[in-house]
Structure 1
Amino acid sequence: MAKLVEPDKILVRMPSLTAVRSFVAAAKHLSFTRAAEALCVTQAAISRQIRELETHLGVELFKRTGRTVELTEAGTILYDAAYLSFVNIAQAAERIQSNTSGKPALTICCSPAFSGLWLSRRLPDFFASNPDIDINVVTTGNYLQMEPGVHPDLFINKISDPREGYHSIPLFHDLIYPVCTPAFLQDNPAIATLEGMRNTVLLNLSPYGRAQVAEHVDWSVWFSFFNINLEKRSTSDKHLFNANDYNMLIQMVLNHQGVSLGWHHLVAPLVEEGLLVRPVEQEVIFREKCHFLTYLESRADNEILCRFRDWLLGCMNDERISMVSVGEERGE
């Protein structure tokens, strides 16, 4: 005689996952229309699913005012829990799919600038030597508050130990100098001096919206090392442009729109190729600002992680930008 199984009260009381998925999409975008587009269904389907969910729970999840919606207190509570649950489910499914694909994968977390200007240039070399490894890259400007469910194998950042369970290896110090295109220098010969550079178009890295894990370096800070006050620019001088996206600043430099501060590990290849030049010889090395390769201690002996770690450290040494190499190169 078959043994009867007691009903699972949690599963029995669970609302429809389809309805919860529609709710999460609508709550994320605060729009039924955008939720429908995101899930490739009709707006009517989204509205119906959310009405059924509200009926099941006995509360309103949205305040509806005309064409706009906003979450109620109950809606906020459900969204916080449901979104995290969906993230965990999606990532678990991704890990399962990765394992069944036969190719191990590493998840690497770094800044958008490092991924765009450093990593993307060199990954083809890694893949050529390691065709059996897949790489997942997660970019962020805030390493202290990662998205729920994101657990990178490796960080490349300025925090020695971003969280418990990770170990860090120092990579290099910040070496910073101005860069522009040869054409911009030709059209603006005065920028061959620091005083002339102060009065040209300066493309400045702003701190807004970026994680403040180290003292921010902008034009004002950099000029102060040479006793030049940026505030003495007259109102007739050319503009000072601010952006918190370093990739954008470098693209503007490449488009001959001004002078930006160049982080050596990011712009050195562009200088070597002649796309950028250093209009002045002055530079600043911030000994207290160190970049780290940080990896999960639990995977310290993992073959795949070790292969990527050794490859990255080799790149640093080959390019003479490691902490030791920079100092030796400049006789310090």
Structure 2
Amino acid sequence: MDKLRRRLPSMNSLFTFEAAARCGNFSKAAEELNVTPAAVSRMVSRLEEHLDVALFARQAGGATLTGPGRILFDAIARGFSGIENALREIEDHKTGIETVTLSVSTGFTTHWMMPRMADFKRTFPTVDLRFQLVMGELAGEVHDVDIGMRFVSAPDPRHEAADIMPEILIPISNADYRENHLRHRGDSRDIDMLADPDDRHTAWSSLFFAGEGADSTRFDSMNFLDYAIVVQAALLGQGVALGWLNVVAHWLRTRALVPAGTRVTTTQRRCQFVRSRRKPLRPIVTAVQDWIIAELRHDVSVVDALYPELELGNIVGGKA
């Protein structure tokens, strides 16, 4: 520890460097630290002079880490994460409450987690569950949370992953809408498509209705900025939505929503819980993660029994 003190100008330099590296921009780091960009630049320069190595490559649009800078940042991030977890555990011991933070979509939180909260509280009465809500696509690195639900196409060395299911998409509506609008698609009735304007599957209606009278049916679209609202509109009978199974499994199990067709689409991605390797794993986080995965897979097994024509059991590969 004495050697570390001699090699650093101050501990504050580590906080400044970590913020600058994480933000990738001295101005953003300055806002976070409530100082001026010039103060951040001076502190980083002082650290670089002290270590006799360049930690950042300065550019017009920001600053990127050099090789030595990446080595230092990775070590600091692991250290800060450990300190944060230690402080949390101390607080948990004082209060008897354990905090678990999830990074999940607004759709999953609204339409799967909220209906399960009573069951969750019975299972984990001393857990304070907190959410970092994602409105857009579930992708990217998981930082300041315990675990995050992500769609993953390949292993990521930054994260450890727990598999949930493939990415499965099903057209959904409520039963009344299916009965009144979809049973005879060859007539002149419209089919209202409920969509998120950021949806990657912009031509998704053709995926599910091609060859099923789609050419003779006019599709009207209603777009919403949040996928949680898309699912809510389907529940209210406003039209047909693209249903991500990890979000709508509860409503399909309870029959509040029904499949609006028999075509199921899967992608090359997997729905997984991912965790930063820099963040120490607490037993309660594993317990919460395993409970959610087990409940989701149970939902899928019930939906598979209700609608065998979807062949979900074969798609999930026996994991439902």
Question: Is the shorter-chain TM-score for this pair beyond 0.5, marking a shared fold?
Answer: yes
- Which structure is larger by alpha-carbon Rg, 1 or 2? 1
Give the letter aligned to residue 103 of structure 1.
I
Q: How many residues align?
A: 292
Q: Secondary structure at the match of 2:125?
A: coil
- Offset of 1:117 from its aligned partner? 1.9
Q: In the alignment, does 2:182 pair up with 1:203?
A: no
CA gap of 1:293–1:146, structure 2 versus 1, over 3 A, is: closer
Quote the residue 2:109 is aligned against. Answer: 115
Q: In the alignment, does 2:19 pair up with 1:25?
A: yes
Q: How far, CA to CA, are the matches of 1:61 and 1:139 in structure 2?
A: 32
TM-score by length of 2: 0.58
Give the letter aligned to residue 26 of structure 1.
A
Q: How far, CA to CA, are the matches of 1:295 and 1:73 in structure 2?
A: 27
Q: In the alignment, does 2:58 pair up with 1:63?
A: yes
Contact 2:167 2:244 in 1 (8 A): no
Q: In the alignment, does 2:233 pair up with 1:247?
A: no
Q: How far, CA to CA, are the matches of 1:288 and 1:48 in structure 2?
A: 48
Structure 1: tracts of 5 or more residues without a match: 1-6, 209-216, 297-301
Q: How far, CA to CA, are the matches of 2:65 and 2:291 in structure 1?
A: 51
Quote the residue 1:282 is aligned against. Answer: 261
Q: How far, CA to CA, are the matches of 1:304 and 1:36 in structure 2?
A: 33
Q: Secondary structure at the match of 1:282?
A: coil
Give the letter aligned to residue 49 of structure 1.
M
Contact 1:62 1:75 in 2 (8 A): no
Contact 2:170 2:264 in 1 (8 A): yes
Q: How far, CA to CA, are the matches of 2:126 and 2:28 in structure 1?
A: 39
Q: Secondary structure at the match of 2:29?
A: helix
- Offset of 1:74 from its aligned partner? 5.5
Listed one character per residue, the Cα deviations across residues 69-111 of structure 1 (whole Å, up to 9, x for unaligned) are 3236357534444344433433343334334432245566755
Contact 1:22 1:49 in 2 (8 A): yes
Contact 2:172 2:234 in 1 (8 A): no
- Offset of 1:9 from its aligned partner? 2.6
Q: In the alignment, does 2:203 pair up with 1:223?
A: no
- Offset of 1:119 from its aligned partner? 0.7
CA gap of 1:264–1:312, structure 2 versus 1, over 3 A, is: closer
Give the letter aligned to residue 69 of structure 1.
G
Q: How far, CA to CA, are the matches of 1:24 and 1:307 in structure 2?
A: 30
Quote the residue 2:242 is aligned against. Answer: 261
CA gap of 1:233–1:148, structure 2 versus 1, over 3 A, is: farther
Contact 2:168 2:264 in 1 (8 A): yes
- Offset of 1:310 from its aligned partner? 6.6
TM-score by length of 1: 0.57
Contact 1:181 1:254 in 2 (8 A): no
Contact 2:174 2:236 in 1 (8 A): no
CA gap of 1:48–1:156, structure 2 versus 1, over 3 A, is: closer
Quote the residue 1:36 is aligned against. Answer: 30
CA gap of 1:202–1:123, structure 2 versus 1, over 3 A, is: closer
Structure 2: tracts of 5 or more residues without a match: 276-282, 310-320
Quote the residue 1:212 is aligned against. Answer: none
Q: Secondary structure at the match of 2:96?
A: coil
CA gap of 1:75–1:306, structure 2 versus 1, over 3 A, is: closer
Quote the residue 2:91 is aligned against. Answer: 97
Q: How far, CA to CA, are the matches of 2:118 and 2:133 in structure 1?
A: 18
Listed one character per residue, the Cα deviations across residues 59-78 of structure 1 (whole Å, up to 9, x for unaligned) are 3635264xx43236357534
- Offset of 1:118 from its aligned partner? 0.8
Equivalent residues in 2 for 1:175-214 (5 A)?
Answer: 176-179=170-173, 193-194=184-185, 200-201=192-193, 203=195, 206-207=199-200
